A and B are shown apart, each in its own frame.
Chain A
Amino acid sequence: MSVTEIRFAGFGGQGVIMMATVIGKAACIFENGYSTMTQAFGPEARGGAASAQVVLSDQPVLYPYVTEPNILVVMAQEAYTKFSPEVRSDGILIVETDLVRVTTAVKPGVRVYGVPATRLAEQLGKKMVLNIVMTGFFTAVTGLLAAESVRNAVLDSVPAHSKDLNLRAFEAGFAYGQKVLEGSVTDLATV
């Protein structure tokens, strides 16, 4: 049985929950996996911080929460500070490089990938789609899910009038991720 725990974190309005929804949906509807998404509710969810958790598995998910994420995706410094110590030593940390400076020492063995998603989204004309840029980037660097599945999940999750824009956002993030993997991008904000 293979279980992958993922946490997405940032601040309100960045579309953190949408990212989790897209990944969760891609796994269980557009692939044959299982996924469970939970969100942090409550007063803390009204303020700045926002986070969502997804557990992916090839078997039905039993325990619904993330305790030790295999993958952490952060789009705010505060979220980075709070959650980065949780990541498993063989895990992956994905950051928005304009919003997060990787300051403290992450566990050795954690692979760190950065993407200037806000800037890429702005280049597409709408800063709002930074979450889908991040999603595309996530898809490329983790290789966890087929790009086609995530693309379909994006299309299934956004309003009809913004499908095209979101698709372009996904492709921009995905392409950037591929470049990072190839080593042709080196401006990561790692320490």
Chain B
Amino acid sequence: MTVHADPKGVLTGTHFIDGDHACCEGALAAGARFASGYPITPSTEVVERFAARIPSVGGVFIQMEDELAASIALQGAVWGGAKAFTVTSGPGFSLMMEHIGYALMTETPCVFVDVQRGGPSTGLPTMPAQGDMMQCRWGSHGDYEVIALAPNSPQECFDLTIRAFNLAEKYRLPVMFMMDECVGHMTEKVVIPPADQIEITPRRLTKQAPDEFLGYKADEDLVPDIAKAGDGYRFHVTGLTHNEKGYPSMTVKTQDKLIHRLQDKILQNADDISINEEVDLDAADVVVVAYGITSRVAMKAIQMVRDSGQKLGNRKLRIGMFRLITPWPFPDKKIRALAGRIRGFVVPELNLGQMSREVERASGGLAKTIAVTHAGGTVHSPEEIAEAILEAAR
């Protein structure tokens, strides 16, 4: 079920803005009315814009004392009934890990935006990397599944931020919005449609009476409905292992049931959650798997190879592109199916091989995987990706 966006937050029109600003507009269009942040390059522009815009939309921005505070204040606002998010980059993302875990455990719908820069530690504050892809998947302790989206243009920073909020509400979890410095600081045309053309997933507020309501009893889709504070439900929320009522219940049985449900609600709904871009995959010999800014550089590399008239036997070499718009949950089935009919994958990314391991794992040895790694600071040269494509075809 969806509704139209609240026009108050929708800046309908054609804009020339960067990815950070577009992400903020996406959040406002999605209905976010609360943001708690802490300044960090290259993500700060998102909350700077939110701070400028929100007083005339109706809502709250608060700059907190650190990222720990920023990443939990928003969850307080969510349980009050607001749609809320925070924005950060590497070092701040590291500090937020515990509260990503809290949001996962308490099933708090919210969005964490990470504009990735070079790491580890302070690293390259103003330069791009994609080194947080495993951190957003595994960074908090314990077992869980997340949803992560990776935009490759300012337009997608707008469109996919809305999707991130919608998925957060539908599946009740923190959605990781994995930008990179390049996409965040790149200015392009961004079209924001009228509010009535933007579909919004509302919060799944319970329709049950307070005495019937169980805060963590899941529906058929494995997701429970939610109550907000102040409505007489007198519910309890805890990061401890809890039963359907939300009460702490630290038993092996409760843990087993809860942790499996938190995992399964994502895995069993993966087809609904996951969207990815598929280009010329049908008869491909080599498939490039990429995401974020790297997917654009990879597409240029593919064009270069095609233009050079490379042959495989006596026909043209066929190269496809599988763009991970939803890196998590990872599209295991798609990659496995491709692996069975192609020569190899080429996985360029601005890290020393993170999603490439997933491609290798999912392909189960049926096709080779060539990682085109890069420590970050800029994007690949299309030539190095092109070389890997030729190597994969051999």
B contact residues vs A (CB 8 Å cutoff): 14, 16, 41-42, 125-127, 181-182, 185-189, 293, 296-297, 299-300, 303, 378-379, 382
Contacts and interface: CB of A to CB of B under 8 A. Distances in A.
A62 B189 contact: no
- Main SS of the interface on chain A? mixed
A95 B4 CA distance: 50
B186 A21 contact: no
A34 B188 CA distance: 8
Given A29-B16, A42-B126, A62-B303, A24 B379 contact: no
A119 B303 CA distance: 46
A64 B126 contact: no
Contact of A63 (B16, B41, B125, B296): B296
- Main SS of the interface on chain B? mixed
A29 B191 CA distance: 10
6 contacts: A29-B14, A29-B189, A42-B125, A43-B126, A63-B382, A64-B293
Contacts of A42: 125-127
B126 A41 contact: yes
B126 to A, nearest CB: 4
A75 B378 CA distance: 26
Shortest beta-carbon contacts, A-B, top 10? A42-B126, A37-B187, A62-B300, A25-B16, A28-B189, A41-B126, A62-B296, A63-B300, A62-B299, A36-B188
Contacts, number: 58
With most chain B CB atoms within 10 A of its CB, the pick from A21, A38, A41, A62 is: A62
Contacts of B185: 38-39, 41
Interface in A8-53: 21, 24-25, 28-29, 34-39, 41-43, 45
Contacts of B187: 21, 24, 36-38
A76 B245 CA distance: 68
Contacts of A65: 378-379
Contacts of B14: 29
A29 B300 CA distance: 24
Size category of the A interface is 20 to 34
A29 B382 CA distance: 28
Contacts of A38: 182, 185-187
A64 B42 contact: no
A153 to B, nearest CB: 8
Given A62-B297, A62-B299, A65-B378, 6 more contacts: A28-B189, A29-B16, A37-B16, A42-B127, A63-B382, A65-B379
Contacts of A41: 41-42, 126-127, 181, 185
B61 to A, nearest CB: 23
Contacts of A21: 16, 187
Nearest to B380: A63
A9 to B, nearest CB: 17
Contacts of B189: 28-29, 34-35
Nearest to A42: B126
Nearest to A40: B126
A29 B15 CA distance: 8
Nearest to A43: B126
Contacts of B126: 41-43, 45
Contacts of B379: 63-65
A171 B378 CA distance: 38
Contacts of B300: 62-63
B16 A24 contact: yes
A33 to B, nearest CB: 9
Contacts of A34: 188-189
A181 to B, nearest CB: 28
Nearest to B298: A62
Contacts of B296: 61-64
A25 B13 CA distance: 13
Contacts of A25: 16
B217 to A, nearest CB: 47
B293 to A, nearest CB: 7
